[in-house]
Structure 1
């Protein structure tokens, strides 16, 4: 039955449990244990699970049957743990976690971490010697991981950067010593050591985010995770000439936090790659099976890639599109293309990015998306010399254009020239910035539909931080 907690049982219920409120009119013993386990399993936040354990002996016992624990230290909890008025009444975050996993019988997934908002806390507001949220501390991990590692398939630890950044942790090596069945591993906000790292041949997905590593450390990761299919490196600092050499890799996200001298990826089975860096002196890709590629780079001085025979979806963002396109291999296989210019300003008009370059390098594109920077540069180039009489994109059927309208007559002239060259175009979407005059937008779309009624026209407004809003206009 319900334990006496000193307050009505209703007040101990949390919102996720209230979905199952009709069941609680019965005694706990009247509900089948598998159903109760299913209810507890649906709790996304294990803080709620900890509360349920206090509400009933039955819930307390069955909570040990759940297959995953997901515990997050929120910003509000952090503030309460530091406030002189409330900190004496706040249970240690590590103690709550240890209590949850201590008696667990079959955990498949564990996620423990701090909320992203804690990254913004000033260093001056934190005691340098504090370790209450130092979650990659090997001493803390040794308290619980050996007890649950047998069935564990996914492990995620997101540390508190202020407490972890100055302490080199050997948690990765400890994990490799006891988690033989692990498939997915995430480590965030920590300074990692790879000393003593053992091969983890079962792991197919690895995420390292806001991690301090060095080149030789990354080489050890290559050697010890040979079965990786998915690799995410997000703002991993300390790398100068990093190399990825993984034979089975299928998907890779790599967002560089600094400006490494060179970036090299050797992955013969890589299919999807998202790569964001600043100004690498050398960018080398040996990825022959790549089909989906998103490259964001301010400038690449030396861009070397082998022919992309299977590349169909390409997104390019660069502060120097003309030079990047000049180094790009033939893009005859590409069907969907997105292009934008980073940090575009009118002072950069000299770069002379025109649509002709796209027509030459990517002649078989079916769908083209032009970001506001790319459109502005291409329109300025057109204004100076029009569109050259070179081969247009004969296969092109759809354009999405993010417009920044300075002179509506120039914009209309540019659009008309595109329509005249791309004779198979059947769908064109014009997305304007919120600051644009709605009357100008109406005039723009009215003229376009009159000029080329064969095209299905759409227009919309872009609002920063939200999804684009589209309005269909005509056929």
Structure 2
């Protein structure tokens, strides 16, 4: 049974603040302020804002509001009110509900009016007032085909001297007059075009990054060079062949302290990596496309040998679904020409996303890898959700019987869904 507004007023303020701080949606925080005087009193002491422009707002109000700017103003007013009333803001996450992406493009343009979350005028209304203690900022803009050029990054560099984590999704970003941000350690850019410079600006202005993720990014020039001394994790996602001269068709990564490299690539031209102590390698690549130039990945039977020659310290290897499918196809085409790779002896953990379309070939491919990995201790295999339980169980029993000393983790994967792990 829920507490009445009267009984809520009797709760200590520390508990009321704890309740508000655990609400995931700042719109719910605003509702609590209206419903309870106690909540309203402690509200200024929460330290985070998480607010979305939801598809529900557009669908519910779209048929009733003739002036589309009212919808945008509604979101803007709520957010600005939240920012202006907090004493200290450490975390801000503003975004569009992912369901908005499913709405018709014309409907989105009509209903959002002129409000872009990365728009300079909008950002200037709130960033200076809450920037001094801001540690984490995430902005995901509207899923439309064209954006006004935003000076979001230069503005952040002027005001946010203590920012540690930054995520920007869907934006046309200018880097003119961008100041160095030595405190920033984590940066994610997704569906972003960096104009005025190329991606090289990352090395110059964010020198102390420890985690960098680039997803579907473009720059005005290429090739791009990323040279970061403190980088420990790098993720790169690129799909399809470059559609314009602005696409990042070539990247050189110099990261002497890199530990984890995650590649999700298709149709990419070249990636040159200098990471001498790399220990974790996650691959989601089409091995047939020759996309990692330094490793010479292609139809070569020496693929794994070259991986461990270039990255001799790798002790954790993960093959996502299409990378595993391509590797398995190679083994099937050359059943008597499988290579022995001395580098795999040092492998500690191995994981793969399996289609299990032909159980016998998949098992032979797994066996070829595991039998060479003499120091292996843990194996994580995920099976495609569409595989019948009978086939999955048969494969699981076969593997666990063949290598009983290994620690096994089994899971289920499917496109667009989170991986789920099962107990055996």
Task: Please report the TM-score for the alignment, with normalisation by the length of structure 2.
Answer: 0.78
> Are the structure 2 counterparts of residues 114 and 471 from structure 1 closer, same or farther at C-alpha, using a change threshold of 3 Å?
closer
- CA distance in 2 between counterparts of 1:251 and 1:68 reads 26
Matched, 1:292 2:280: yes
Which of 338, 348, 358 aligns to 1:405? It is 358
| Residue aligned with 2:95, SS | strand
Whole-Å Cα distance in 1 between the matches of residues 25 and 138 of structure 2? Answer: 14
Q: CA offsets per residue over residues 199-250 of structure 1, 9 Å max, x none?
A: 1122111121111125833222321111211212122134642221112212
Q: Secondary structure at the match of 2:179?
A: coil
CA distance in 1, matches of 2:118, 2:298: 38
Query: CA offsets, 1:101-159, max 9 Å, x none?
Result: 12221111111111122223332334479545411111111111111112222122111
Equivalenced residues, count: 407
Indicate yes or no: 2:135 matched with 1:145: no
Q: Distance in 2 between matches of 1:130 and 1:431?
A: 41
In 2, distance between residues paired with 1:27 and 1:434?
46
d(CA) in 1 for partners of 2:187, 2:363? 48
Distance in 2 of aligned mates of 1:460 and 1:362: 22
In the alignment, structure 1 residue 168 sits paired with structure 2 residue 149: yes
Aligned partners of 2:291 and 2:199: how far apart in 1? Answer: 24
SS in structure 2 at match of 1:288: coil
Alignment of 1:375-394 (within 5 A): none
Correspondence 1:208 to 2:200: no
Deviations 1:282-322 (A, max 9, x none): 321111222212233323366327xxxxxxxxxxxx77473
1:322 to 272, 278, 301: 301
Match of 1:237 in 2: 218
Distance in 2 (alpha carbons) for counterparts of 1:111 and 1:292:
29
Question: What are the equivalent positions in structure 2 for 1:351-430 lying under 5 Å apart?
Answer: 352=334, 356-357=338-339, 359-369=341-351, 371-372=353-354, 403-405=356-358
Matched-pair contact (CA < 8 Å) for 2:48–2:92: yes
1:34 correspondence with 2:14:
yes
Q: CA offsets per residue over residues 368-402 of structure 1, 9 Å max, x none? A: 44554xxxxxxxxxxxxxxxxxxxxxxxxxxxxx6
Please say if 1:61 is aligned against 2:41: yes
Native 8 Å contact 1:279 1:297 kept in 2: no
2:203 corresponds to 1:222 = yes
Residue aligning to 1:391:
none
Partner of 1:274, secondary structure, is strand
Q: Does 1:97 align with 2:76?
A: no
Pair 1:52 & 2:40 matched: no
Q: In structure 1, what is the Cα distance between the partners aligned to 2:224 and 2:57?
A: 38
| Runs (5+) with no aligned partner, structure 1 | 1-17, 306-317, 373-401
**Inter-partner Cα distance in structure 1 for 2:353 and 2:116:** 42
Of 250, 255, 278, which residue of structure 1 is paired with 2:232?
250
Partner SS for 2:341: helix
Structure 1 residues 231, 27: CA separation in 2 closer, same or farther (over 3 Å shift)? closer
Classify 1:180/1:38 alpha carbon distance in 2 versus 1 (closer, same or farther; 3 Å): same
- 1:157 aligned counterpart, secondary structure: strand
Contact 2:249–2:268 (Cα < 8 Å) also in 1: yes
- How far does the alpha carbon of each residue in 1:46-97 deviate from its partner, in whole angstroms, 9 at most, with x for none? 0011112212344323211211111111221222232237989967111111
SS of match in other structure, 2:168? strand
Deviation at 1:462, TM superposition (A): 4.5
Residue 116 of structure 1 corresponds to 98
Is the CA contact 2:232–2:260 (under 8 Å) kept in the aligned structure 1? Answer: yes
The answer to whether the 8 A contact 2:279-2:313 is kept is: no
Find the residue that maps to 2:203 and give its secondary structure: helix
Please state whether the residue corresponding to 1:151 is helix, strand or coil: coil
Q: Please state whether the residue corresponding to 1:48 is helix, strand or coil.
A: helix
Name the residue aligned to 2:293.
Answer: 303
Coordinate RMSD, CA, aligned? 4.2
Kindly state the Cα deviation for residue 277 of structure 1 after the two structures are TM-superposed. Answer: 2.3
The C-alpha deviation readout for 1:427-458, integer Å capped at 9, x for no partner, is 989876666666667777788899x6967898
Equivalent positions of 1:78-93 (< 5 A) are 78-84=58-64, 92-93=74-75
CA distance in 1, matches of 2:370, 2:225: 44
Distance 1:420 1:177 in 2: 55
Q: Any conservation in 2 of the 1:283–1:300 contact (CA below 8 Å)?
A: no
Once residues 301 and 134 of structure 2 are traced to their aligned partners in structure 1, the CA distance between those partners, rounded to angstroms, is 49
Deviations 1:315-349, CA, capped at 9 Å, x for gaps: xxx77473644643426544443446546599978
Alpha-carbon contact 1:426-1:454 (below 8 Å) kept = no
- In structure 2, runs of 5+ residues without a counterpart are 243-247
- The structure whose Rg is larger is 1
Report 1 or 2 for greater relative contact order, CA contacts < 8 Å, sequence distance ≥ 6. Answer: 2
- Segment drifting more, 319-328 vs 118-127: 319-328
